[in-house]
Amino acid sequence: MMTPDTTTEELPGGPHRPRVLFTVAGTVFEFVRKLEMRSTGELLMLAQRRYRNGLSGPVVVKRLRNPATFVERRRLVEEVDLTFRLNHPAIAKVMLLKLYRGAPHVVMEYVEGRSLDTVLNLAAMRRRPLSAEFAAHVTAEVAEALSYAHGLTDEWSRPLHIVHRDVSPRNIRVGVHGEVKLTHFTVAASSLSGREVTSQELVKGDIAYASPEALRRRKVDARSDLFSLGLVLLELLTGRHPLLVDDLAPVLEPEPLELHAQGPTWMPVKEVAARMAQVGPEQVERLAAGVAEPLRRILLRALRQEPSERFQTGAEMAEALRAWLDSQGGHRGRQAIAQEVEQAAVEATVRRNQAELLEGGLHPEGLTVEEAALAGEPSSETPLGEAAGSAVRLSQVAELTLEARITQAAEPAAGARHAATEAPDEARPEAPEPSDTAPEATKPEEPDTP
C-alpha cells in the first residue's frame, strides 16, 4: 500500500505551514507546486526562495527520481557543470546544485510565462498561427542563444562544442513580458572533460524535432540544432510539421542499429527517422506555400538534409531573420510579443466556448478567458508525459480534434493546426499528487531555517 502524499496538500482544518524542501546557507527553498514529471525521472517543481532578510522570489527546482541511477546522477552533475558556464539573456540561468537526501537538486531561473509548446496549442485551438513577425522574432532570439552556446570555450579557451540536442517548443519559453528563453540543456552534448557518452542506439530529446543526422545516430554539431530550430520556425509560421505529411509513404530502410527514444513516443522512432529523411525543398515549399518568400528561403536553407547546406551558425540564421524583420518596419518588441500571446489565449478561449455550446457541454470545466491567460508550466499528469506536447499537436490519430468539432457549424480556417480536445496545459486543473513524485520533506535540513 502506498503512503499517502502529505507534503503537497494542506491538512484539513490545519494552519498553513511552509513546505520546505531544503536550505542552503540560510536561504530557504519552499515548495509551491509541481510543474512537470519527465520520462527521464526528473521532477520539476516551482519553489519560493526566501533569504534571511525576508526577500523572496520564485525558482525552479529540478530533482531526479529517488533512488537515482549512477548515470542519471552523473548526467545532472554534468548539466549543472555545463550550464553554470552559460550566461546569455536568452538562456535560463542555473543557480546552484544541492545534494539533498541522496538526490541531486538543481535550482534554476523561473521564467514566468508559457512554453512555446503551449503557445502553439493556443494557436491550434483558435485555428490560426501566430504572426510571421512573432515567429521570426522568437526564432531569432533562440538562434542567437544557440550561437552563444555553440561558441562557448572553457577556461583555457578550448571550444566546448556544445550541442543542445533538444531544441523544441517545449524547451523555449515566452515570458509574460515578452522575453524569450531557451531552457533545459539536460541532454546537451559537449567536449567538456568527463562527459558521459550517450548510448549509440538512444536518440536524445524530442524525436519530432531531431535532425536527420541525429536520427541516423551520426555525429551532430551546431547545425543539428539549427535544423531543429528550422522545424520550430516552420510550425510557428504554418501550424504544420513534416511528420503530418501523408503524401509520401516513409521508406523504412533496414538498419543494423535499433533506435530508441529517450521518452514515450506516438510514432515508432524508425518511422520518424524515415519521414525526416524525406524532408527536402519540395516538401518544405508545399508546407510553407503561404509564407512570405524571404522567410520561405530561410526555411529552405535551415531544413536541408546535408548540414553543409544549412546555416552554419546561429548568428547567421538570426541575421537573416532580423533582416526580414527590419524590412517589415523595425524590431518586434517584447511588449508586442507578450500582447500577441495573450490575444491568442483570448481567441482560443472563444473557440473553446463555441465548442462547448455546439456540443452541449462537452467540456464541463471549459476554459474561461482568465484561465487561458494564466501563465504556467505544462501539467505532469498528461498520459504521454514528456512527449505529450508534440504528440497532442502532431498525432493525426486523435479520435476527435477540437478543430473537427468546431467546423461542424463553422467555416474552416486555412492552415489550421491539428490540436487535441485537451485544454492548454496551464489551464488544466491539477490532479492529486502521486506519492512517488512528491517532495521528500516538510522540515528544513538545517536548524537555522525560519
CA-to-CA separations, 41 to 63, 73, 224, in angstroms, rounded: 8, 11, 26
- Does residue 60 belong to any structural domain of this protein? yes
Half-sphere exposure of 364 (CA within 13 A, CB side): 0
Q: Supply the DSSP string of 230-267, one letter for each residue.
A: HHHHHHHHHS--GGG--SS-------SSPPEESS--SS
Partners of 364 in the beta sheet? none
The side-by-side arrangement of strands in the sheet containing 113-115 is 113-115, 172-175, 180-182
**Residue type present at position 166:** D
Residue 58's domain is classified under what CATH number?
3.30.200
CA-to-CA separations, 43 to 3, 66, 189, 424, in angstroms, rounded: 19, 10, 21, 20
**Residue type present at position 154:** D
List, in order, residues 6 or more apart from 71 with CB less than 8 Å away.
196
Reference 240, options 292, 290, 301, 309; nearest CA is 290
Cα 33 → chain centroid: 19
Give the pLDDT score at 441.
38
Q: Where are the beta strands (DSSP E) in 161-226?
A: 172-175, 180-182, 202-203
- Does residue 63 belong to any structural domain of this protein? yes
CB-based burial label for 248 (10 Å; 0-12, 13-18, 19+): middle
- Does residue 276 belong to any structural domain of this protein? no
Beta carbons of 108 and 94 less than 8 angstroms apart:
yes
- Does residue 84 belong to any structural domain of this protein? no
Partners of 64 in the beta sheet? 42
Q: Could you give the angle at the alpha carbon of 80 between the alpha carbons of 76 and 82, nearest 5°?
A: 115
Could you tell me the pTM of the whole model? 0.75
Cα 88 → chain centroid: 18
Give the pLDDT score at 193.
61
Beta carbons of 239 and 417 less than 8 angstroms apart:
yes
The side-by-side arrangement of strands in the sheet containing 20-24 is 20-24, 27-37, 42-50, 56-64, 103-109, 94-100
- Does residue 417 belong to any structural domain of this protein? no
Q: Please give the DSSP secondary-structure letter assigned to residue 350.
A: H
Quick one: cell of 35?
Answer: 510543474
Partners of 37 in the beta sheet? 43
The total number of structural domains in the chain stands at: 1
Reference 228, options 182, 195, 178, 266; nearest CA is 182
List, in order, residues 6 or more apart from 137 with CB less than 8 Å away.
180, 321, 325, 331, 332, 337
Quick one: cell of 132?
Answer: 510571421
Quick one: cell of 2?
Answer: 502506498
Q: Alpha helix locations (H) across 359-445?
A: 369-372, 388-394, 402-406
Beta carbons of 246 and 397 less than 8 angstroms apart:
no
Q: Could you give the angle at the alpha carbon of 84 between the alpha carbons of 80 and 86, nearest 5°?
A: 120
Q: Please give the DSSP secondary-structure letter assigned to residue 111.
A: -
Query: What's the CA gap between 188 and 174, in Å, rounded?
Result: 21
Cα 133 → chain centroid: 21
Give the pLDDT score at 259.
55
- Does residue 26 belong to any structural domain of this protein? yes
Q: Report the chain (450 residues): mean pLDDT per 10 consecutive residues.
A: 39 63 89 82 87 83 69 69 89 87 84 92 91 96 97 90 92 94 85 56 72 87 96 95 72 56 62 84 92 96 96 97 89 86 91 68 44 40 40 41 39 39 39 38 38
Query: What's the CA gap between 145 and 47, in Å, rounded?
Result: 26
* Structural domain that includes position 63: 20-69+92-110
- Does residue 61 belong to any structural domain of this protein? yes
Beta carbons of 137 and 337 less than 8 angstroms apart:
yes
- Does residue 64 belong to any structural domain of this protein? yes
Q: Give the CA dihedral 208, 211, 216, 219, nearest 10 degrees.
A: -140
Half-sphere exposure of 79 (CA within 13 A, CB side): 29
At 31 the three-state DSSP class reads strand
